[in-house]
Chain A
Amino acid sequence: MAVNAEFVGRTYPPSGPYAVDAAGIAAFALAVSSTDPVHTDAEAARAAGYRDVIAPPTFAVSLAQQVDRQFIADPEAGVDFSRVVHGEQKFVHHRPITAGDQVLGTLTVDSVRQAGGHTMVTTRAELATDGGEALTTSTSTIVIRGGE
């Protein structure tokens, strides 16, 4: 099944809100072996100028992948998830995601292209607070392996 190229340029309505809490941030930080106390110690985070503990630099993927599901899980999109591998990932942080944030994600399908028998799909999730403050732009390229 081919990925539906008609989805290129499509922007979905915002999804969420996704609640970010200190426990979730701390669990993520521990799992990626971070020792930076701004993720686990509210006092340290405040001393560094943040309102509360902040997310590690790749935490946004856990939100972006929920946002991306609107496209990936859409039968019309034609993505065979069993053949998906992650090709590229980029984050641009506008301000650190902070415990207490209620995050909305707006998904755009940036490109669908073919190379070497595989299909590459680039999606962009714009993460912002429910008040409209920009948090992170997460851009992800997945590779859907060709084959039988």
Chain B
Amino acid sequence: MAVRSFDEVSVGETFGPTAVPVGRETLVAYANASGDQNPIHQDEDFAKTVGLPDIIAHGMWTMGAAGSVLEQWLGDGGRIVEFGTRFTSMVVVPREGTEIVVTGTVKSLDEDTRRATVELGVTAGDTKVLGRCQAVVALA
């Protein structure tokens, strides 16, 4: 993939919206890959017994999927040098699956380091699920 160049990026530039589907098989794969086997992400009955509406996605899956959308825009995931978020709402994953929608906005540029600060907006249905989701990326 071609790495996005500092010279082609401007403040206020946006990308997306990009939908990322998530099904229960996605969460099983994420649990196995990440080691987070909390049953609220895999077992509907268990999730309901602890007061959740249904199975919910790992917050870190949602952050990871948002990172994957950022990588597509950036052209090299290894150039994401900082990445942070707050987990503000859960993503409920019913039996038939759902999706999250990711958008990005370039908030600022640093000419000396050729880095950009990008804010990601991540929603499920009408609900914003990540808050202050920001990354610093090293542009080419």
Contact with A along B59-78 (1 / 0, CB 8 A): 11101110110111000111
A67-88 interface (Cβ within 8 A of B): 82, 85-88
Alpha-carbon separation in the docked complex, A58 to B1 (Å): 20
Q: Which residues of A contact B (CB under 8 A)?
A: 24, 27-39, 48, 50, 54, 56-58, 61-62, 65-66, 82, 85-93, 96, 139
Contact with A along B33-75 (1 / 0, CB 8 A): 1111000000000000010000000011101110110111000
Q: Provide the residues of chain A in CB contact with B103, threshold 8 Å.
A: none
Alpha-carbon separation in the docked complex, A36 to B14 (Å): 20
State whether B67 touches A58 (Cβ < 8 A).
yes
State whether B77 touches A56 (Cβ < 8 A).
yes
Considering only CB atoms and an 8 Å cut-off, how many residues of chain B contact the other chain? Answer: 36
Besides the known contacts A28-B34, A32-B64, 16 further A-B residue pairs in the complex with CB atoms under 8 A apart: A27-B29, A30-B29, A31-B30, A31-B32, A32-B65, A34-B64, A36-B77, A61-B34, A62-B34, A62-B35, A65-B36, A85-B87, A87-B86, A87-B87, A89-B59, A89-B85
Q: Provide the residues of chain A in CB contact with B33, threshold 8 Å.
A: 24, 27-28, 30-31, 62
Q: Which residues of B contact A (CB under 8 A)?
A: 1, 3, 20-21, 26, 29-30, 32-36, 50, 59-61, 63-65, 67-68, 70-72, 76-78, 80-87, 135
Alpha-carbon separation in the docked complex, A82 to B35 (Å): 17
Q: Provide the residues of chain A in CB contact with B68, threshold 8 Å.
A: 29, 32-36, 56
